[in-house]
Amino acid sequence: MVNFSCVACHRYLRFAPFRQHGIGFVSLFLAVLLCILSPASHAQLEETIARIKPSVVGIGTYQRMKSPALTLMGTGFAVGDGLHIVTNAHVIPETLNLERMEKQVVITGRDNEPEIRDATVIFRDTAHDLALLRISGTALPVLTLGDSELIREGRRVAYTGFPIGMVLGFYPVTHQAIVSSITPIIRPVNNAVQLDAKLIRQLKTPFMVFQLDGVAYPGNSGSPLYDPDTGVVYGIINMVYVKGKKEAALSAPSGISYAIPGRHIVHMLNSAR
C-alpha cells in the first residue's frame, strides 16, 4: 500500500478535479515517485537523532583549580540500566591527579547547560579499546545494541558525538556514512623491521573493524554507530586506536573513519557482570 502522507501526494489529492483532463495519472505517478525518493529517509533520521541524543554523553575529567576545569576527551553512550556508559578506553586517563582532586566525569544535559556527573571506571577491555563507566544521578535513556554480525559492506549508518568538544557549546554532531569495508584492525607491513611490540601483540589477536566513508575526529571516539532508521547500535567509533595501526604510513587521510563492531561491546558487558 502506498502511503500518501507526503506533501506532493496531498497536493495531487487536493487538485483531483484536474484528473479529468488526462493529466491525473501522470501527476499521481510523479507524486508517488516523489514520496518514494523524497526525504522520507531523512525525516526518519531526524526522528532517530532526536531519540539518540539524550543517550549520548561527553567523557572527560574535571579539576576545579585548573583552567578550564573541564576537559572533554571523547564521547560515550548509555546502555543497560541507564547508569552505565560505554566509551573507548583510550579516552579514559590511566591515572588521575588525586592530589589536585581531579576526577573522571561524564557530561550530560544539552546545549549550553551541561550537567557534570561523577563517573567510575568499572571495566576496561584494552584489547578492543573499550571501557565501561558507572555514573551518578538519575538514569539516562539507553540505546539498544544490535547484532553486528548482520552488518555488510554498503550498509548505511550514522554516528553522533562531540568532534569539536565544547568549543561551541555542548552540541552533539551527527554524520552519515556507509560501511565501505570490513577489514582487519592491523595494517600490513612490508618486512619484519616495521614490526613493533604493540603491532606484534595485535597480530596475536587480530579482529575485524568497520571502515566508514564518513569524517570523524578524535572527539568522536566513543560515538555510537547506529542504524539511521531504527537507532539500533552496531558499533562504536574509534579514531586514535585504529588509525594509529592502519594509517600511520598513509598520513591519516581524511574522509576515512573506523568503528569497533558492537559484538565486542556485548562481550565486555557480559564480562563486567
**How would residue 145 be classed by pLDDT, with cut points 50, 70 and 90?**
very high
Q: What is the mean pLDDT of residues 115-127?
A: 94
pLDDT of residue 192: 47
Q: Which of 40, 37, 11 is nearest to 24 (CA)?
A: 11
Cβ-proximal residues to 43 (8 Å cutoff; 6+ apart), any chain? none
- Say whether pLDDT at 23 is over 70: no
pLDDT of residue 232: 98
Q: Which of 188, 158, 161, 163 is nearest to 175 (CA)?
A: 158
**How would residue 87 be classed by pLDDT, with cut points 50, 70 and 90?**
very high
Inter-residue contact 159 to 239 (CB < 8 Å): no
Inter-residue contact 118 to 206 (CB < 8 Å): no
Give the H or E element holding residue 268: helix 263-272
Inter-residue contact 72 to 107 (CB < 8 Å): yes
- Say whether pLDDT at 14 is over 50: no
Q: What is the mean pLDDT of residues 70-91?
A: 95
Q: Which is it for strands 173-184 and 233-237: parallel, antiparallel or unpaired?
A: unpaired
Give the H or E element holding residue 247: none
At the topology level of CATH, where does 148-272 sit? Answer: Thrombin, subunit H (2.40.10)
Q: Which of 109, 111, 173 is nearest to 138 (CA)?
A: 109
Report which of residues 100 and 169 the model is more confident about: 100
Q: How far apart are CA 185 and CA 200, in angstroms?
A: 12
- Per mean pLDDT, which range of 88-97, 108-117, 175-184 is the poorest? 108-117
At the topology level of CATH, where does 55-135 sit? Answer: Thrombin, subunit H (2.40.10)
Report which of residues 198 and 163 the model is more confident about: 163
pLDDT of residue 194: 46
Q: How far apart are CA 246 and CA 262, in angstroms?
A: 20
**How would residue 190 be classed by pLDDT, with cut points 50, 70 and 90?**
very low
Report which of residues 180 and 170 the model is more confident about: 180
Chain segment 192-215, per-residue pLDDT in tens:
444 456 555 555 667 899 999 988
Q: What is the mean pLDDT of residues 64-88?
A: 92
Threshold 0.85, pTM exceeds:
no
Q: What is the mean pLDDT of residues 107-117?
A: 83
Give the H or E element holding residue 23: none
Domain with CATH 2.40.10.10 in the chain: 55-135, 148-272
E strands, the chain, where? 56-62, 70-79, 84-88, 103-110, 113-125, 130-135, 156-161, 173-184, 208-212, 224-226, 233-237, 257-261
At 74, list the grid cell: 571523547
